[in-house]
Chains A and B, each alone.
Chain A
């Protein structure tokens, strides 16, 4: 099956700093990737749709200046949490659809962010 890789898997940062999370499709090209946030024992909340070569589409209530998304190539999307605060601590997961006809989402391993 298709492989989506996320890095880093865990990151701890100080309040006020910025953190970048990478999402790579290893064996396919992904024009569209999705970023989710998941709090402990809760569901995945869609944050934004990352589109290669264009601006990301953010879901209602998600601050685009807070969560910067860049999809500069067909295999890489990045999520930057700017000026992180403790309430930004969460599990961030990306996904991509290798084959548009099946619609199956392949997820990265996730990145656990802890802001001190």
Chain B
């Protein structure tokens, strides 16, 4: 079945440093979404990417969808302590069913 892997599994950064998480799907995706889950909380939607090669920005966050629509990345510039949490990508092959990636847990050291 479809698998969605993320690297790294964990990342510790000093506040102010940049952070990137990479998402790779075993199959071609129709679209990909990104979610953030704070410790003890539930996932919260960040963004959806649909087009091949698409790049979207939200303040310090930059999201990219690969040309082959099998990979994606999330880059955070100048991390802040509020960025702490686990970031999940979630891919769909064209239905409303999304398979979540393995997640990247980010810790930001003040």
Interface residues of A (CB under 8 A from B): 32, 34, 36, 41-46, 49, 60, 93, 95, 97, 100, 102-110
Contact = CB atoms under 8 A, between A and B. Distances in A.
A8 B88 CA distance: 25
B97 A49 contact: yes
B102 to A, nearest CB: 5
A41 B48 CA distance: 24
A43 B88 contact: yes
B103 interface: yes
Contacts, number: 51
Nearest to B46: A104
A32 B100 CA distance: 18
B97 A107 contact: no
Contacts of A97: 96
B85 interface: no
10 contacts: A32-B96, A43-B100, A46-B97, A60-B1, A100-B96, A103-B33, A103-B92, A104-B33, A105-B45, A110-B42
A95 B1 CA distance: 22
B97 to A, nearest CB: 6
A46 B100 contact: yes
Contact of B45 (A36, A60, A104, A110): A104
B67 to A, nearest CB: 21
User: Which 8 pairs between the two chains have the least Cβ-Cβ distance?
Assistant: A107-B42, A44-B100, A104-B45, A43-B100, A43-B102, A43-B103, A110-B42, A107-B43
B55 interface: no
Contacts of B105: 41
Contacts of A46: 97-100
Nearest to A91: B42
A103 B97 contact: no
Highest count of chain A CB atoms <10 Å: which of B35, B42, B88, B96: B42
